[in-house]
Amino acid sequence: MTQNEGQRFRFSEAPVWDWQRAYYEQKGLHAWTENQVPQYITSNPMIATAYAEMIFGFLQDLASKGQTTETVTILELGAGVGRLAHQILLKLMALKDFAGLELPAFRYVMTDLVEDNVLGWREHPSMQSFINQGILDFARFDAIQDIELNLVVAGTVIRPGDLKQPLLLIANYFFDSIPQELIYVGEGEIYECDVLVQSPERSLRSEPAQLLENMTLSYEYRRAPEYSAENYPYQELIALYKEELEDSHILFPAIGLSCLERLNTLSDSGYVLITADKGDHRLDNWKFAEPPEFVLHGSFSLTANYHAIQYILDRQGAHTSFTTHHYKDLNVGCMLMVDEPLGYVNTRLAYHRFVERFGPDDFFSMKEWMDDQVERMELKQIIPFWRLGGYDAEFLIHSANRISSLLPDASDEEILDIQSGIHIMWSSYYAMELQGGVAFLAGQLLYGMYMYEDAKRFLELSLDADSRKQNSAVLYDLAVCCYELELEEETLSYTRKVLALEPEHEEAMDLLNSFECF
């Protein structure tokens, strides 16, 4: 196989960004539901709880300042499959109802570059109650150039200066996935790292994911004095890099910073940024950095330069927070680009309680370990951890077999807690392609606990969501549930369906005969 000679590009203008964009346009929401693009780590109930608490604290801070008449806009950048928005809104509304405080009204606006994703959210069944309450809207937004938001539901446009309350931004796996510059610091000088992109000839007509998988990258360096010019907007940061770094490749978020500046113009009162990514805010972690590693998952992601974002915002008057301890998989930050940021006490306290003290990255590390320990765990460990994670469906999927094996020796209290957990999980479940499987597991566990009414509901939900569950085992369980609930007609119906699939099914034949004897 021969390769083309490759072309030389400025890093932010390389075709890899076009391939990434084409991938998302081609896949739409399936990019996440097909388990290619990671979404669990930044959209599970634990991180949604942390974000909802910070947003609630922010609303409290505005209320304490008397700013309750204008609506607060919560803008999620690159909202992905929509699971995070759904979880945040559920938890935020629960906090609001529980507290009973007078707070400013809010609307949550989900954005994405891909129009089909925006339309997909608009029609998603899990979003309809929020749309009907007037607290959820959608807009297409291009982080590279857009300066306004066209709201799909409201049919209105948010233009610079329209917002009176500070804008609240959510950016998960955002800064690592939009175009960045790549510079090299060596011997006190700044170099632009141009990229040479080579692809096997026959792959040039391939799908975007194949192009990314088959590409070969190399770099060429050229002096870049423009970065050190007095009129360069980030010249002070570049001077710091020249002084402190050596033999270091730096992903520079010029487009990300520009995006924040454009979004800042929408409000007269600044913004708050809540963000999570695999990205470093400590300068030491950029020392002697190698060329960037492209992490491929259908599309690709890089490492976000949180140091640059934090440095620039700090010098513009923001109060920025990252954890004092080192992150492992997910770095969560909160940046208050508002007047008198230290006055937003509830927002800062929420970050301290739900990120600094124990946060989404800590939970994800524990969950990875717990996933490997499930078969050695007892219910007294499984149930509290499930509760800690917000009764997450993913943990139930992973632990269902172990829970089932422990049911014969479970206490009445543990049985009731499992039942309650299943209902809490389902009430906040974001309908995805796994919906039928989750309902089936819930139904099986409830059946094993002799909770036939609940089991019947979930097993029927699994049949509605996934026709592949139309097998004799599930149908027989439903027949038993109906028998125990004294639902004669439904018992007969399900029993006959079992025998139609498996005429020699002895238990079903006995059940049918028990009716024919009367």
Please report the domains of the chain, with CATH numbers, ordered by start residue: 8-21+179-249 (no CATH), 27-178+256-357 (3.40.50.150), 364-517 (1.25.40.10)
Residue 4 confidence class, pLDDT cut points 50, 70, 90: very low
What is the secondary structure of 275-303 as a DSSP string? EEESEE--GGGGTTPPSPP-EEESEEE--
The neighbouring-strand residues paired with 110 are 76, 138
Of residues 280 and 301, more confidence is placed in 280
Q: Note the pLDDT tens digit of each residue in 65-113.
A: 999 999 999 999 999 889 999 999 999 999 999 999 999 999 999 999 9
Q: Which of 32-41, 48-57, 103-112 has the lowest mean pLDDT?
A: 32-41
Return the number of other C-beta atoms located less than 10 Å from residue 13's C-beta.
13
- Tokens (6 digits) for 382: 């499984």
Residues in a beta bridge with 219: 195
- Kindly state the percentage of the chain with pLDDT values over 90: 76
- Ranking 171-175, 292-296, 301-305, 487-491 by mean pLDDT, the lowest is 292-296
Evaluate if residue 432 carries a pLDDT over 90: no
Residues sharing a CB contact under 8 Å with residue 311, sequence separation 6 or more, in sequence order: 237, 240
Nearest to 41 by CA among 143, 176, 140, 137: 176
Helix (H, G, I), strand (E, B) or coil at 317: coil
CB-CB neighbours of 409 under 10 Å: 9
Q: What is the DSSP letter of 200?
A: B
Say if residue 436's pLDDT is above 90. no
CA dist., res. 310 & res. 315, Å (int): 9
Q: How far is CA 61 from CA 263, 323, 438, in A?
A: 21, 22, 39
Find the mean pLDDT for residues 356-373.
94
Could you give the dihedral angle defined by the CA atoms of residues 477, 479, 483 and 486, in that order, rounded to the nearest 10 degrees? 120
Lowest mean pLDDT among 165-179, 473-487, 500-514: 500-514
pLDDT at 369 over 70: yes
The secondary structure element, H or E, covering residue 405 is helix 393-406
Q: List beta partners, residue 136.
A: 108
Cα end-to-end span (Å), the chain: 76
Which pLDDT score is estimated for 293? 86
**In whole angstroms, how far apart are CA 508 and each of 415, 514, 518?**
28, 10, 17
Q: For residue 321, give the H/E element and its range.
A: strand 319-321
CB 250 within 8 A of CB 185: yes
Whole-number average pLDDT of the chain: 91
Identify the weakest region by mean pLDDT among 1-10, 442-451, 469-478: 1-10
Model confidence pLDDT, tens digit, residues 103-144:
999 999 999 999 999 999 999 999 999 999 999 999 999 999
Q: What is the DSSP letter of 44?
A: S
pLDDT at residue 232 tops 60: yes
Nearest one of 158, 322, 186, 303 to 245, comparing CA atoms: 186
Q: How far is CA 345 from CA 270, 350, 473, in A?
A: 17, 9, 56
Q: Within 10 A of 443 (CB to CB), how many other CB atoms are there?
A: 27
- Give the pLDDT score at 244: 95
pLDDT: which is higher, 290 or 36: 290
Q: What are the backbone dihedrals phi and psi of residue 191, each rounded to the nearest 5 degrees, phi first?
A: -120, 145
Single-letter amino acid, residue 329: D
Residue 78 CA: distances (Å) to CA of 42, 48, 139, 266 = 12, 16, 10, 18
CA dist 299 and 16 (Å) reads 9
pLDDT at 297: 77
Average pLDDT of 230-234?
A: 93
